[in-house]
A and B are shown apart, each in its own frame.
Chain A
Amino acid sequence: DAKTTQPPSMDCAEGRAANLPCNHSTISGNEYVYWYRQIHSQGPQYIIHGLKNNETNEMASLIITEDRKSSTLILPHATLRDTAVYYCIVIPSTSGTYKYIFGTGTRLKVLA
């Protein structure tokens, strides 16, 4: 079963930052946090991942709390094209038989 909890839906005004929270209170020390998004019925797309430190790339920033029990994905300037379902999942660092489980995600709607 999914090891993360996310709000089912969120709205964000276009041009504003979208902050998507994820709770992973049972995360282990060697488990990474990954974020993906799925636009309409397309295949999910990788966004960003992290272990302990905050991460930033051209798509988003990932803020992980010091106790690693939660994280926030930040889309700094949301556009209409960012409307999608965002999935937060945890991945062990030495995956052998781990099942890449996606939860139900957060449905983000960017409003004009």
Chain B
Amino acid sequence: DSGVTQTPKHLITATGQRVTLRCSPRSGDLSVYWYQQSLDQGLQFLIQYYNGEERAKGNILERFSAQQFPDLHSELNLSSLELGDSALYFCASSPTGGDEKLFFGSGTQLSVL
């Protein structure tokens, strides 16, 4: 158990809908990262937050947005969903967002039908 909690574990929805994925980092970790992994693909970095502020942005679509709240949990919002958004979404956390190891959650499996 990494200490990073992601909910829900599975999510099934229809095209055009909007969903919210939630991540609670390890106790004491200030930085949260979001990754997308499509079937048999590598991990695609989406975005990183540190203590409530956006720190780095990757290949995140404009239909996607994220935020980190004062209690340090983070949410990834996906809107106008398309079939191609079906993927595993991972959240990771680290203490300071620097040169340190990341701790990953078990992921949320999103299926867009």
Contacts and interface: CB of A to CB of B under 8 A. Distances in A.
Do chains A and B interact in one complex? yes
A23 to B, nearest CB: 16
Residue from A44, A93, A104, A105 having most chain B Cβ neighbours under 10 A: A44
Given A97-B55, A97-B56, A102-B42, A43 B105 contact: yes
B102 A100 contact: yes
Interface residues of A, number: 27
A103 interface: yes
A34 B99 CA distance: 10
B90 interface: yes
B92 to A, nearest CB: 8
B98 A44 contact: no
B10 to A, nearest CB: 12
Nearest to B57: A99
Interface string B35-55: 100000111010010000001
Which residue among B43, B48, B105, B109 has the maximum number of chain A CB atoms within 10 Å of its CB?
A: B43
Contact of B45 (A44, A93, A101): A101
SS class, residues of chain A in contact with chain B: loop
Contacts of A98: 56
A92 B97 CA distance: 11
A41 B101 CA distance: 19
B44 to A, nearest CB: 8
Contact of A95 (B43, B98, B103, B105): B98
B42 A104 contact: yes
Interface of B: 2, 4, 33, 35, 41-43, 45, 48, 55-58, 88, 90, 92, 97-99, 101-107, 109
29 contacts: A32-B99, A43-B92, A44-B90, A45-B104, A46-B101, A46-B102, A46-B103, A87-B43, A91-B99, A92-B99, A93-B98, A94-B98, A94-B99, A95-B97, A95-B98, A95-B99, A97-B55, A97-B56, A99-B45, A99-B48, A99-B57, A100-B33, A100-B45, A101-B45, A101-B58, A102-B43, A102-B45, A104-B41, A105-B42
